[in-house]
Amino acid sequence: MAETMLKIEDLKTYFYGDDGVVKAVDGVTITINKGETVGVVGESGCGKSVTSLSVMRLLHDTPGEIVDGSIEFQGKNLLSFSEKEMRQIRGNEVAMIFQEPMTSLNPVYKIGKQLEEAIQLHLKYDKQKAREHAIQMLKLVGIPRSDEIVNEFPYQLSGGMRQRVMIAMAMACRPKLLIADEPTTALDVTIQAQILDLMRTLREESETSIMLITHDLGVVAEMCDRVVVMYAGKVVEETDVYTLFEDPKHPYTRGLIGSVPKLGKNANRLDSIPGNVPTPSNMPKGCKFAPRCSNVLKVCLEKEPVLEKVEANHTCRCWLYQNTETVGV
- Compute the distance between CA of residue 171 and CA of residue 96 in angstroms, rounded to an integer: 9
**Domain boundary assignment for the chain:** 4-93+173-262+269-321, 94-172
- Compute the distance between CA of residue 28 and CA of residue 137 in angstroms, rounded to an integer: 34
* pLDDT in the model for residue 327: 47
CB contact set of 40 (below 8 Å; sequence gap of 6+):
30, 48, 51, 211, 212, 213, 214, 227, 228, 230
- Compute the distance between CA of residue 226 and CA of residue 231 in angstroms, rounded to an integer: 17
The tens digit of pLDDT for each residue in 15-28 reads 988 878 889 999 99
CATH topology of domain 4-93+173-262+269-321: Rossmann fold (3.40.50)
Cα radius of gyration rounded to whole Å, the chain: 21
Mean pLDDT (the chain, rounded): 89
The tens digit of pLDDT for each residue in 243-277 reads 999 999 999 999 999 887 777 665 666 778 888 88
Q: Which of 240, 214, 261 is nearest to 311 (CA)?
A: 240
Q: What is the mean pLDDT of residues 88-101?
A: 87
